[in-house]
Chains A and B, each alone.
Chain A
Amino acid sequence: MKLRKIAEKLGFTVFAGAECLDREVSGGYAGDLLSDVMANSSAGDIWVTLQTHENTVAVATLRDLAGIVLVGGREPDGDTVRRAEAEGVPILVSPQRTFEVVGRLIEAGVPERGAG
């Protein structure tokens, strides 16, 4: 499923990486501890987090994540947007909280990876 379709369906606002929305989303991961996301996310995941600072972009790049969704209407810092544009990492914002965002992503058809 394409990131663009998910963003439209769930009403996410695009803050960075508008040209990269044709990326395929093959799963999802939610987490605010960067080491947890580094260790346990998978390539192609859409990453749901409340972290708005620029270090998230390196994590998304290093793990080949499809994009970042910020929850609770939190907007990315200016440095984060600049870095994300340079690296081609989409950053989307949802007004909803993590629990609701994850539920809607699954409902929209983003595959669950299961345990492990």
Chain B
Amino acid sequence: MTLTREFEIVGDDFTNAGWVSTEIKSILRNVGYPADVIRRLAIATYEAEMNVVMYARRGHLTLELDPHRVRVVLEDEGDGIPDIELALQEGYSTATDKMRARGFGAGMGLPNIRRSVDVFEMVSEVGRGTRLEFEVRARAGDSVHEHPEASEAES
């Protein structure tokens, strides 16, 4: 059984930035995923959310949960990324001074996402936006158990 949740992320809204990732973490915890899965998704969803806040007008995030893996698809409307390989390099950043003053723009976001997940795909169209998809799988030895509150996470 797969549970799906949808979230909207608003560009340039630093006040609410991080709220979607926090909400997702709380859902994962209620469903009862292993701590390592929650940790890796917290890092990946936070970085992805901040990228929308900083670089796009808006983003739509779809969260798909099934017992053995969590999949996230994030589509944004924005300027897009001309060179994805360059954007994935540690330390490369196009952040403004305002973002840097807040402790962002270290060029670590996308590398952090890629390191945290098991499947990573990104496509971008300049002038339109970026589609990021990633998946975290429970690893052998992780205890996966469905929590009775799982169905409530949908409400």
Q: Which residues of A contact B (CB under 8 A)?
A: 32-36, 38-39, 43, 49, 51, 53-59, 61-63, 79, 87
Contacts and interface: CB of A to CB of B under 8 A. Distances in A.
A58 B21 contact: yes
Interface stretch (B40-48, B138-146, B147-155): B40-48
A33 B18 contact: no
A79 B15 contact: yes
B88 to A, nearest CB: 14
Contact of B18 (A35, A36, A51, A59): A59
> Dominant SS at the B interface?
helix
Interface of B: 14-15, 17-19, 21-22, 25, 39, 42-43, 46-47, 50, 102-104, 106, 108-109, 112, 115
Contact of A33 (B50, B103, B115): B103
B47 A33 contact: no
B47 A55 contact: no
A51 B102 contact: yes
Contact of A34 (B19, B39, B104, B115): B104
B26 to A, nearest CB: 9
A52 to B, nearest CB: 10
Given A58-B46, A62-B46, A35 B112 contact: yes
Nearest to B24: A62
A38 B102 contact: no
B102 A35 contact: no
Given A35-B47, A38-B47, A62-B42, A55 B18 contact: yes
B22 A55 contact: no
Given A34-B102, A62-B46, 9 more contacts: A33-B104, A34-B104, A38-B42, A39-B108, A51-B102, A58-B19, A58-B46, A62-B18, A63-B42
A8 to B, nearest CB: 28
A58 B22 contact: yes
A51 B100 CA distance: 11
A39 B43 contact: yes
Give 4 closest A-B pairs by Cβ, nearest first: A58-B18, A35-B108, A62-B42, A33-B106
A35 B109 contact: yes
B21 A51 contact: no
Contacts of A63: 39, 42
